[in-house]
């Protein structure tokens, strides 16, 4: 329940886009796609002149700062944008967490901002950001993108249908939390890859016997990891749309599958098959265990497979593992192949046409291609009918560092195949397989009105605190599982049903809006 997960499932943007398409503007698409002008001396020849260049413009863009690929004014992405749109991008970066608020309050706002949904929902209604739903007729590529990706539109739209930012998309697969295992160790001891949590338990016991100092199964996000385990038991721990009953809000912690999951984890803990400090394990401790034969099965962000493989030695190797079934009919990983970052337009911009033209370009097919691959001869060559990046680009992060590809606000809709083309076969395999196992619904809640939010804010905080402390105590055995019914009763006393009902109203509003 981090703040940036409190994002919208309102689909009114679809209605707004349809209305925009029926406006009296005749579907004008801005300077980027204007009809070509006709030269006077060719009026009677039937020949048309080349399309006129869009007007020159400059946009100030405020983005975050990343140490692993610090922004450069001469990044090729900005050159390509200028070539295609006649827009020069002047990139500015945050200096701290308060930078966004300070920029908004300064009276000298940049034209474009990179924002999380929470920030868009906070500052947009205050008048800082433009309501983009009113300008979709000027951004046909954005409109097309949102119609093709309604789940993206739903997450970025306010209860009243306003859209204060547009989310990036295409690279979300990097957010997937997946299982992986030491395939070299499994092969060495003739162990089969577990397909159920019972088999995970039995395999962990065998590995514990072989490596007594190990904790065969490990994870590093404390109680939060239960969000990643939940889909193997048919749920997410918190409020989510029930895939078995579309349109209905479910509170996963009250589901029988959640209890089964906690019982498993309690058994793993008692038999020291998971680290005894699982509640506080950080990234450094986790990597140390993986690198020193102290753990052999884990769940982590998908990119960690190759990051860790680059550090392992003496034949040690990690491989993607399909999620094991814990409860129900099918095992899943969380549906998380989406991005939580987007672009907002200042409501005070003096370059509105250019700002809308920029957004439309980066969400266009051409923009997607150029801002993901670059240009032939500059960044890639064609070999055997396929694009291949030039030799100086050896890994995906090289594209960011050297070219600005896939950096904040330098793309709208990305082509992940460009990034994967620089990955090895094991990593490609991981991404391809992971996409087969995503849970049918996301672990997100619909955006509430201010009145709705204020009505349940204190209850949600109390629920979260009680849930986290209680579940931790069940897993480590401080509270016996015989007290589970009392746990459920206390959730109800705190006000779980009121929270469920409030989110149900918001979800019903969504369903009504998108009819």
In a domain, 408, yes or no: no
Same domain, 197 and 158: no
Cα–Cα distance, 79 to 499 (Å, whole number): 49
100-110, pLDDT tens digit by residue? 999 999 889 99
Residue 45 pLDDT grade (very low, low, confident, very high; cuts 50, 70, 90): very low
Q: What is the mean pLDDT of residues 86-90?
A: 98
Give a yes or no: residue 468 inside a domain. yes
Mean pLDDT, residues 222-251 taken together: 96
Q: Check residue 14 and give its pLDDT.
A: 33
Could you tell me the pLDDT band of residue 38, with boundaries at 50, 70 and 90? very low
Return the half-sphere exposure (C-beta side, CA atoms, 13 A cut-off) of residue 408.
26
* Number of alpha carbons in the 13 Å side-chain half-sphere of residue 473: 14
Whether pTM > 0.85 for this model: the answer is no
In a domain, 73, yes or no: yes
- Given a contact cutoff of 8 angstroms between Cβ atoms, the answer to whether 233 and 258 are in contact is yes
Would you state the pLDDT for residue 160? 86
Instruction: Report the DSSP beta bridge partners of residue 509.
Output: none
Q: What average pLDDT does range 309-317 have in this prediction?
A: 93
pLDDT of residue 515: 54
The pLDDT of residue 46: 42
Phi-psi region of 142 (alpha: psi -120 to 50; beta: other; left: phi over 0): alpha
Angle 416-114-457 (CA atoms, 0-180°, nearest 5)?
A: 105
Task: Label residue 95 by pLDDT band (50, 70, 90).
Answer: confident
In this structure, are 191 and 100 located in the same domain?
no
My answer on whether 506 and 462 are in the same domain is yes
Co-location of 290 and 428 in the same domain? yes
Residue 22 clears pLDDT 70, i.e. is over it: no
Tell me the per-residue pLDDT of 406-432, one tens digit each, with 9 for 90 and over.
Answer: 999 999 999 999 999 998 899 899 999
In a domain, 130, yes or no: yes
Please tell me whether residues 331 and 347 are part of one structural domain.
no
Taking CA atoms, 402 is separated from 69, 74, 160, 415, 503, in Å, by: 8, 9, 41, 18, 44
In a domain, residue 62? The reply is yes
| Res. 220: pLDDT tops 50 | yes
For residues 386 and 405, give the distance between their C-alpha atoms in angstroms, rounded to a whole number.
19
Q: What is the mean pLDDT of the chain?
A: 89
CA distance 249 to 444: 11
Query: Of 262, 245, 264, which is closest to residue 253 (Cα–Cα)?
Result: 262
Question: Residue 22 is part of which domain span?
Answer: 1-26
Q: Which CATH number fits the domain that encloses residue 305?
A: 3.40.190.10
Is the pLDDT at 18 greater than 50, yes or no?
no
Residue 11: pLDDT above 80? Answer: no
Q: Which residue has the higher pLDDT, 130 or 43?
A: 130
pLDDT at 27: 32
Whether residue 64 is found in the same domain as residue 196:
no
pLDDT at 176: 95
Tell me 399's DSSP state.
I
Model confidence over 437-457: pLDDT tens digits? Answer: 999 999 988 889 889 999 999
**Residue indicated by tokens 């990891």:** 225
Q: How many domains does the chain divide into? A: 4
Q: Is residue 418 part of a domain?
A: no
User: For the segment 472-504, what is each residue's pLDDT rounded down to a tens digit?
Assistant: 999 999 999 999 999 999 999 999 999 999 999
Q: Quick check: is 123 in a domain?
A: yes
Q: 445 φ, ψ to 5°? A: -120, 150
Whether the per-residue pLDDT at 32 is higher than 50: the answer is: no
Looking at the fold, whether 224 and 310 belong to one and the same domain comes out as: yes
Same structural domain, 231 and 252 = yes
pLDDT exceeds cutoff 70 at 13: no
Whether residue 179 sits in one domain with residue 168:
no
Final residue before a domain boundary, out of 437, 467, 484: 437
Containing 382, the helix (H) or strand (E) segment is strand 380-383
Q: Strands 249-251 and 239-241, how do they pair? A: antiparallel
179 and 276 fall within a common domain: yes
Q: 230 with 310, same domain? A: yes
Q: What is the rounded distance in angstroms from the CA atom of residue 285 to the CA atom of residue 288?
A: 5
Q: Is residue 323 part of a domain?
A: yes
End-to-end CA, the chain: 29
Domain shared by 345 and 331, yes or no: no
The two tokens of residue 388 are 């291949």
């Amino acid at each position: 329940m981090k703040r940036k997960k409190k994002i919208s499932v309102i689909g009114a943007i679809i209605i707004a886009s349809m209305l925009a398409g029926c406006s009296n503007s005749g579907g004008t698409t801005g300077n980027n796609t204007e009809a070509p002008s006709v030269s006077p001396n060719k009026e009677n020849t039937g020949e048309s002149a080349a399309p006129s260049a869009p007007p020159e413009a400059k946009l100030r863009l405020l983005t975050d700062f990343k140490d692993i690929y610090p922004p450069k004014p001469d990044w090729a992405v900005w050159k390509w944008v200028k070539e295609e749109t006649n827009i020069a991008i002047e990139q500015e970066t945050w200096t701290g967490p308060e930078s966004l608020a300070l920029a908004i309050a300064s009276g000298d706002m940049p034209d474009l901002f990179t924002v999380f949904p929470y920030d868009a929902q906070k500052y947009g209604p205050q008048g800082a950001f433009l309501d983009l739903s009113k300008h979709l007729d000027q951004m046909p590529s954005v409109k097309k993108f949102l119609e093709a990706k309604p789940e993206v539109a739903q997450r970025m739209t306010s209860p009243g249908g306003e859209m204060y930012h547009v989310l990036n998309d295409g690279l979300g697969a990097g957010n997937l939390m997946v299982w992986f295992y030491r395939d070299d160790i499994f092969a060495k001891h003739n162990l089969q890859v577990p397909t159920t949590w019972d088999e995970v338990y039995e395999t962990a016991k065998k590995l514990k016997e072989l490596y007594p100092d190990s904790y065969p199964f490990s994870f590093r996000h404390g109680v939060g990891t239960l969000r990643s385990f939940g889909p193997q038991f048919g749920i997410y721990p918190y409020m989510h749309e029930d895939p078995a009953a579309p349109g209905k809000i479910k509170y996963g912690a009250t589901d029988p599958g959640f209890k089964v999951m906690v019982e498993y984890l309690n058994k793993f803990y008692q038999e020291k098959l998971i680290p005894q400090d699982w509640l506080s394990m950080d990234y450094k401790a986790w990597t140390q265990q993986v690198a020193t034969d102290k753990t052999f099965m884990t769940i982590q962000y998908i990119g960690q497979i190759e990051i860790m493989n680059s550090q392992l030695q003496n034949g040690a190797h990690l491989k993607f593992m399909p999620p094991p079934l814990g409860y129900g009919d099918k095992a899943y990983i969380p549906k998380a192949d989406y991005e939580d970052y987007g672009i907002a337009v200042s409501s005070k911009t003096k370059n509105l046409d250019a700002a809308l033209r920029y957004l439309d370009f980066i969400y266009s097919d051409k923009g997607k291609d150029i801002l993901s691959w670059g240009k032939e001869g500059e960044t890639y060559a064609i070999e055997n009918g396929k694009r291949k990046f030039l030799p100086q680009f050896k890994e995906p992060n090289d594209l960011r560092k050297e070219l600005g590809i896939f950096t904040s606000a330098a793309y709208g809709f990305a082509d992940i195949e460009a990034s994967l083309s620089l990955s090895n076969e094991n990593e490609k395999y991981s991404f391809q397989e992971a996409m087969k196992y995503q849970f049918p619904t996301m672990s997100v809640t619909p955006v509430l009105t201010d009145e709705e939010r204020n009505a349940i804010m204190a209850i949600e905080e109390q629920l979260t605190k009680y849930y986290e402390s209680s579940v931790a105590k069940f897993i480590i055995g401080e509270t016996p599982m015989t007290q589970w019914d009392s746990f459920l009763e206390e959730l109800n006393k705190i006000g779980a049903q009121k929270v469920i009902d409030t989110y149900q109203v918001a979800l019903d509003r969504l369903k009504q809006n998108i009819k």
